[in-house]
């Protein structure tokens, strides 16, 4: 499957990236969302002020997630997601993760305002329903942080652990109990 992530300059904020080599001015969000529709799954980061006009451009099966952080001016950012596969049922629709801070240490040359931390990226991949052999497209690579996180995440060895013997036994007992509840006449019969 093909999955994509778009973290463009947020509407009205392109001026913050004038010094970046990829700077191209304000992003045409309707055209961007149309391009994203060509992927099996995709995510778009934006700001809360723009949600009211961006959401009507999205397909009906989208979901709005929240990246929560401890900043004074912007404590959360919306992430619009269309999952390629059903995400894990226990996956939260928000994450609290701090952005890299360089107040007390020098910024790396690759730093870009708004770059996403590794923990955010792994959460995003889970919401995309991504699998390591999927094709991943970072549409606004900026610092390259998300692409590097994808490379690390997709290179992890996935062990086919399956269910434990005790879990398998519990599942079989539950199935038997369901069968007996639906068909009490089978009690005492080996099912």
User: Which letter does DSSP use for residue 75 in this model?
Assistant: -
CB 45 within 8 A of CB 62: no
CB 7 within 8 A of CB 116: yes
Q: What angle do CA 97, 102, 106 make, to 5 degrees?
A: 145
Question: So what's the pLDDT on residue 189?
Answer: 58
97 pLDDT higher than 60: yes
| 3-class SS of residue 8 | coil
CB 141 within 8 A of CB 150: no
Q: Candidates 3.40.50.150, 3.90.850.10, 3.30.1490.20, 3.40.50.170; correct CATH number of 2-154?
A: 3.40.50.150
C-alpha to C-alpha distance for 146 and 120, rounded to whole angstroms: 9
Question: So what's the pLDDT on residue 102?
Answer: 47
Once rounded to an integer, what is the mean pLDDT over residues 46-54?
Answer: 91
Bridge partners, residue 2, by sequence: 135
At residue 11 the predicted structure's pLDDT band, cuts being 50, 70 and 90, is confident
Tell me if the pTM is above 0.85. no
Q: What angle do CA 23, 28, 30 make, to 5 degrees?
A: 150
């Amino acid at each position: 499957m093909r999955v994509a992530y778009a973290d463009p300059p947020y509407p009205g904020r392109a001026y913050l990236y004038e010094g970046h080599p990829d700077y191209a001015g304000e992003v045409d969000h309707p055209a961007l969302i149309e391009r994203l529709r060509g992927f099996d799954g995709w995510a778009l980061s934006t700001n809360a002020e723009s949600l009211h006009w961006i959401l009507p451009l999205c397909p009906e099966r989208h979901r709005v997630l929240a990246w929560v952080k401890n900043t004074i001016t912007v404590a959360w950012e919306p992430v619009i997601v269309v999952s390629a596969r059903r995400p894990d049922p226990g996956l939260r629709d928000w994450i609290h993760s701090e952005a890299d801070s360089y107040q007390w240490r020098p910024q790396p040359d690759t730093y870009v305002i708004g770059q996403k931390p590794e923990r955010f990226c792994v959460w995003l991949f889970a919401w995309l329903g991504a699998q390591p052999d999927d094709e991943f497209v970072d549409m606004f690579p900026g610092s390259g942080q998300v692409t590097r996180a994808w490379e690390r995440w997709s290179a992890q060895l996935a062990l086919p652990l399956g269910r434990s013997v005790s879990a398998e036994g519990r599942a079989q007992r539950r199935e038997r109990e369901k069968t007996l509840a639906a068909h009490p006449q089978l009690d005492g019969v080996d099912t």
